[in-house]
Structure 1
Amino acid sequence: MIICPFYRQAEIYVRQGIQPDRAAPGNWAGRTCFHPKPIVDHMRAHLAAADRLLMDETTAPALDPRHGRTRKGFFWAITCDDRGFGGTGPPIVLLRYAP
């Protein structure tokens, strides 16, 4: 999956003859983040009640526009899967990011 910054997406739309409002791609992204929130909240509650958690931390460069450089950001994959221990719950993976 290739992710383009919003300004590049707007340029692509203009080349296709579509003139979106400059804020439109950001609004679309915000709306797509709102709707899965109940699902993510349920997954987070399930993980909080799990007997065993596995976690992996990965660093990634993140833009720091205030200082004109990049800094270290962190991705965490938090998972529980008790099927190997006789559990009946579904396996869950929740991805988190923090700058």
Structure 2
Amino acid sequence: MNVIEKERITARISSNVAAVLSSAAELTGTTMNGFVVQAALEKAQQVIDRESRTMITGNDAAMLLNLLDNPRKPNKAMERAFERFMKENHGNSEVPIAYKSA
């Protein structure tokens, strides 16, 4: 048998707010508790969705795709940084030919 753990939340609200929530719950055919939980869940999901996305313009997207399709060759500073990275993380400072600038 599956046991569902439940949490409890409480909120102190004014009579006016309680009346509005109660009316909305009645109109949707649910309890005030069910209405509040569903409304809070929907709002929480909206916030999570909004905050976990990065919106960019069409021009920005085109620029990023172009950079991915046509990456620039690394310059000398990037090669030195890559060599340091390889040495510090892999004990090897050799830069593969594919990563060397012309």
Task: Quickly name the TM-score band, shorter chain normalised.
Answer: under 0.3
Higher share of residues assigned helix: 2
| Larger Rg computed on CA atoms | 2
Q: TM-score, normalised by structure 2?
A: 0.27
| TM-score after normalising by structure 1 | 0.27
